Amino acid sequence: MILEKQKKIISPKQPYFVMNSSRYYKAVVMNYGISHFYAFYNDGAIDSSVFAIPDGCIDIYFCCDEEEPNAYICGTVFHPEIAFTEKNKYLFGVRFLPGNSIRFKNAAMSNFVESKIPFLDVIEDRELVEGITSSRNFNYQIKLFMDMYLKLYYNSKVINKYENLDKFLIANIIKNVGQIKIKELADETNYSVRYINKIFVQEFGLTPKVFSRMMRFQDLLSNLNNLELDIFDTDLTEIAMRLGYYDQSHMIKDFKKFTNTTPNKYIYSLRKAQYNKKLIIV
C-alpha cells in the first residue's frame, strides 16, 4: 500500500456527524480561519449517539427548528462526548480551522474548550440567528453567516500581545502535523518550554502537547477514511511509523482514547453507515 504524501493543512473531521445523518452537506472554505460549513438532518434512524471527537476546533451550529430554534458555540473536546441530542432536526454549522475562532470581543478560544455556550450570549445578533434557523437553504445560510463574519474579521482589533507567538505555534504544529517537540518550538522562539506551555494554555485552553496529539489524530482519521475494510496489520504499522507513533499499539491506544473504538472497528463503522454516500461536497 502506498500512502499519500503528507499534507500540511489539517482538514478537521467529525465523522460521527456524517454517519448519523441521512445526508451531510459540506462546503469547504479553508480561508478566513474557517475550515468548512456543513448541514445535516439527524433523523434518528441510526441507533447510535451523535458525538464529537477531539479536533482542536471551535464549531458554531444552528438548530433550524420552527418551535425551538437555537444556536451554540462549541469548543473542542478532549474525549468523545455527546454533541447533539436533537432528533429529527436540521442543523447548520461552521467549523473553524484548528486553533482559530471567530474574533470575540471578550473571549478567547480557551473559554470554549469542552463547553457549549449559547451563541447570543457571546454575539448579540438575533437577526442572524433568526435568519439562519428559519431557512433550509444551505447556500443562503452560508451567505448570511459570512456577511456577519467578514465584518468582524476585517474590523475587529484583537488585543493580544501574544498574537504573533500564538500564530507561530499553531502554524508550526499544523505544518508538522503534530510531529514536533515543544522544545523545538521553544528553541525557535527563544522562549522557555514552560513559557510556551503557559501562553498556549492561556490562549487555547490546552497544552501544545495535547493539541499536537489532536492534529496527529486528525491526520490518522484522514488516512483511515481512505483504507479498505479488510486492512492488514502492515497497513496500520506503516501508518503508525509515518505519523510518528512509537508503534502500532501506541497508535491504537491513542485512537481509542479519542474515539472509544479501535481503527478496525472505526473503518467497519464507516462502511456500515455508508459514509461516502452520505457525504456530499458542494
pLDDT at 2: 33
Three cell numbers, residue 120: 447570543
What's the chain's average pLDDT? 88
For the segment 221-247, what is each residue's pLDDT rounded down to a tens digit?
998 988 765 566 668 888 899 898 989
**Whether the Cβ atoms of residue 94 and residue 138 lie closer than 8 Å to each other:** no
The predicted model gives 132-141 an average pLDDT of 96
Q: Which of 3-7, 59-63, 115-119, 230-234 shows the lowest per-residue confidence on average (mean pLDDT)?
A: 3-7
The predicted model gives 100-117 an average pLDDT of 83
**Model confidence at 58: pLDDT above 50:** yes
Instruction: Give dist(CA 48, CA 16) in Å, integer.
Output: 9
The percent of residues in the chain predicted with pLDDT above 70, rounded, is: 88
For the segment 76-99, what is each residue's pLDDT rounded down to a tens digit?
999 999 887 767 789 999 999 999
Instruction: Give dist(CA 254, CA 158) in Å, integer.
Output: 35
pLDDT at 68: 87
User: Using 50, 70 and 90 to split pLDDT, how confident is the model at 1?
Assistant: very low
Other C-beta atoms within 10 Å of 224: how many? 19
Higher pLDDT, 205 or 154: 205
The predicted model gives 152-179 an average pLDDT of 83
Q: Which CATH number fits domain 163-276: 3.30.2130.30, 3.60.15.10, 3.40.47.10, 1.10.10.60?
A: 1.10.10.60
Instruction: Give dist(CA 121, CA 199) in Å, integer.
Output: 26
Residues 6+ apart with CB under 8 A from 271: 229
pLDDT at 112: 94
Instruction: Give dist(CA 111, CA 204) in Å, integer.
Output: 8
The three-state (H, E, C) secondary structure of the chain, written as one string? CCCCCCCCCCCCCCHHHHHCCCCEEEEEEEECCEEEEEEEEECCCCCCCEEECCCCCCEEEEECCCCCCEEEEECCCCCCEEEECCCCEEEEEEEECCCCCCCCCCCCHHHHCCCEEEHHHHCCCHHHHHHHHCCCCHHHHHHHHHHHHHHHHHHCCCCCCCHHHHHHHHHHHHHCCCCCCHHHHHHHHCCCHHHHHHHHHHHHCCCHHHHHHHHHHHHHHHHHHCCCCCCCHHHHHHHHHHCCCCCHHHHHHHHHHHHCCCHHHHHHHHHHCCHHHHEEEC
Three cell numbers, residue 62: 444552528
The predicted model gives 185-202 an average pLDDT of 94
**Model confidence at 158: pLDDT above 60:** no
Report CA Rg, the chain: 19
Instruction: State which amino acid sits at residue 272.
Output: K
Looking up cell 499534507 gives 7
Instruction: Give dist(CA 23, CA 38) in Å, integer.
Output: 10
